[in-house]
Amino acid sequence: MSIFIDQKTNVCVQGITGSEGSFWTKHMMDLGTHVVCGATPGKEGQLVEGVPVYHSVKNAMKHHKIDATMLFVPPKMTKDAVFEALDAGIKKIVTIADGIPLHEMMDIRVRALEEKAFVVGGNTSGVISPKEAMMGSFPHWIERVYKKGSVGVMTRSGSLTNEVTAMIVEAGYGVSSLIGVGGDPVPGARFAEFLPLFEADPETNAVVIIGELGGTMEEEVAEAMMNGTFTKPLVAFLGGRTAPKGQKMGHAGAIITGGKGSVQHKIEVLEKAGAKVADRPRKVGKLLEELGVIKK
């Protein structure tokens, strides 16, 4: 089992004919992802990795059942591509684009909430359930990072996720599903929105969140633990403890404004809610043990 995506999810790839689009479509399929079609304006009739390409998502929908769409689309065109998918009625969208203009991302977030859709990203590697399926750009073949197991992971980072996940695996655990919400100040979907999915997943025994300073996503996770929405063990790793105040270091979202958003505040509310907070990646595995999470 996994959340968000499994081998039965019918996936469309927008921007499938580009170099990144075709490269990662191949790897998505190699892992087991059920890619059914692609969409690139002007390229209808082509095949990429044996997958038929259409001018538009709506055209593709005439021929295929689509549950989710993966965008390999440049940042300036992302809003249009996300709206195209939402207009076609798709409720699961992943966009890896790094550099989406802030005000366009705000439009995407508002629209996603209205449509009750998940728009994961931008500025992320995407979503993966090891040994099952992925939407995004993960080297799923690296065993010491993408090992199948029972720990759900949510992250705002890319390289740091590999670092932390490698430590989870080193400690004897594996990953059920990994969701990269991305490092932008306004992500299309937020940590807390995936907690009910992890809560309901029988194969997820615990969740690790990889956060950092800035924003309020970690605080929202603490709130979900306090109000009983999420009851499984949770460990957080937070980067930026020693970052100089007021300096924009790390992701665009990582700047402290006022008291809220500081790592100290996040630690305080997470611990109060019963979470364990690691100060370095290697501690994450140890804290999972302390919470009594079975190694799997």
Catalytic amino acids?
Answer: 251
Question: Least distance in Å: CB of 62 to other proteins?
Answer: 29
What is the DSSP-derived secondary structure letter of residue 4?
S
Helices 283-290 and 159-170: crossing angle in degrees, nearest 10, is 50
Closest CA to 5 of 59, 66, 76, 75: 66
Name which of 1 and 247 has its Cβ closer to other proteins. Answer: 247
CA dist 152 → 100, 127, 149, 163 (Å) = 27, 11, 9, 15
Question: Least distance in Å: CB of 226 to other proteins?
Answer: 17
Sign of CA dihedral 76, 155, 167, 28: negative
Question: Least distance in Å: CB of 44 to other proteins?
Answer: 28
Name which of 40 and 157 has its Cβ closer to other proteins. Answer: 157
> 133 and 31 in contact (C-beta within 8 Å)?
yes
Name which of 8 and 103 has its Cβ closer to other proteins. Answer: 103
Question: Least distance in Å: CB of 288 to other proteins?
Answer: 18
Using CA atoms, how far apart are residues 59 and 61, in angstroms rounded to an integer? 5
What does the block give as tokens for 104?
């366009």
Name which of 17 and 124 has its Cβ closer to other proteins. Answer: 124
Residue 47 burial (10 A CB sphere; 0-12, 13-18, 19+): exposed
Name which of 37 and 134 has its Cβ closer to other proteins. Answer: 134
CA dist 192 → 30, 217, 229, 246, 267 (Å) = 30, 7, 9, 26, 16
Question: Least distance in Å: CB of 64 to other proteins?
Answer: 27
Binding site for other proteins (CB under 8 A): 20, 75-76, 98-103, 105-110, 112-113, 125, 137-139, 142, 155-163, 166, 183-187, 190, 210, 212-213, 215-216, 220, 239-244, 246-247, 249-254, 258-259, 279-282
Name which of 66 and 195 has its Cβ closer to other proteins. Answer: 195
Instruction: Using the CB atoms, write b or e for 160-194: b if 16+ within 10 Å.
Output: bbbbbbbbbbebebbbbbbbbbbbbbbbbbbbbbb
Question: Least distance in Å: CB of 183 to other proteins?
Answer: 6
